[in-house]
Amino acid sequence: MADNEQATRAPESDAQERPTDPAVEQSVFPGDTRAQQGPTMGEHCTTDRPAPTGEKPSGELSKLGGIDCYITKPTDYPHAPSKLLLLLTGGTGYKSTNNQLQADKYASEGYLVVVPDQFNNDPAPNSVDMAEVQQDTSWLESIKLKTAEGIKSFMIDMWLARHTPETVLPLLHKVIEGAKEEFADAVANGDGIYGIGYCFGAKYILILAGENADPLAAQSQGTDEEQGAVKKEPILKAGAVAHGTMVTKEDLEGVRAPVYIAAVKDDPLFSEDEVLTPGRRAMESNKVEHEVQVFSGVPHGFAVLGDYDDAKIKQSQTQAFGQMLGWIQSH
């Protein structure tokens, strides 16, 4: 487990907190109040870090199940066997250079990686450029700053309202079915599909690793008052996620496939008390193989590929990649 020193908050990890009445404000996810969720997304979810110097993506843009995807393969595929890996990104989406380079890193380890456009050509809105809003003591500049922050928060809320399980999961299922058909050899070689998720994508990897992997289909079949909703086997063989956003304890309670979770200490976007701890207890009770590693001294979003000046963050980013890769390799 990473050290337990106090976590720091970098600008890219600031949560979009809104001082409203939690008793009445509703979540964008049906059934959850904002009080249950806490803050929603941070800067890292909408803006990429600088890409590593001199690196260019090696994959290609294609379609699976009619959905746009970034697909990257091992250099010796199909002459050498590969395994299929579904990689779900944060809000910057499948066209982000950093997300593509991150997928390439898994491809270099022998995985055929599919990064779907889970946002249907609608990635998260970029944060308002604050460079022109000078933070000084003048009342006019203070108003400018608050206005820019308010616009940014409003845009993110509107974006989240457009991208819920009801819209995201059907896209993912189309991609998965398309991948099973086009890359049947990789699915068979891995005896299933593996999943990696960062930030926004982490929630959906956990859902796909659970007994409610297709909750919409279960709802369409109806429910039994005594047995509850129809349950299905997880779609993923194993999954690994880093610093999830919008994850609920119910997502973790439903997990049935082996999962690794990289979390950030004192992370307001992935609450230890309200989400992680009860989720771990549920996985233990359900005898689900899992591992949780808490990183301190790093911002939320640290595991997403991107350049940092802080050596501590760089080291933790490399460590998280190694842990996530090792987890899926061992399953």
Structure confidence by residue, pLDDT tens digits, 33-70 = 333 343 455 566 566 787 877 889 999 999 999 999 99
Among the four given CATH numbers 3.50.50.60, 3.40.50.620, 3.40.50.1820, 3.80.30.10, the one describing domain 11-329: 3.40.50.1820
pLDDT band at 11 (very low <50, low <70, confident <90, very high): very low
Report domain extents, the chain.
11-329
pLDDT band at 136 (very low <50, low <70, confident <90, very high): very low
Contact 245, 198 (CB under 8 A): no
What is the pLDDT at residue 214?
72
240: tokens are 């690994």
Contact 251, 207 (CB under 8 A): yes
What is the pLDDT at residue 42?
55
Q: What average pLDDT does range 136-149 have in this prediction?
A: 55
| CA proximity to 176, closest of 261, 110, 314, 84 | 84
What is the pLDDT at residue 266?
92
Q: What average pLDDT does range 109-122 have in this prediction?
A: 95
* Helix, strand, coil share of the chain (percent; to 5): 40, 20, 45
Contact 61, 49 (CB under 8 A): no
What is the pLDDT at residue 150?
61
Count other Cβ atoms within 10 Å, centred on residue 298: 29
Q: What average pLDDT does range 128-148 have in this prediction?
A: 48
User: At 40, which helix (H) or strand (E)?
Assistant: none
Phi, psi (degrees; rounded to nearest 5) at 80: -115, 145
Report the C-alpha gap between 67 and 321 in whole angstroms.
27
In the numeric block, the tokens 């809003």 are attached to 133
What is the pLDDT at residue 148?
55
What is the pLDDT at residue 33?
33
Collapse the DSSP code of 89 into the 3-class scheme (helix H, G, I; strand E, B; otherwise coil) and give the result: coil
Report the C-alpha gap between 270 and 291 in whole angstroms.
16
Report the C-alpha gap between 53 and 50 in whole angstroms.
8
Per residue in 96-107, pLDDT tens? 999 999 999 999
pLDDT band at 225 (very low <50, low <70, confident <90, very high): very low
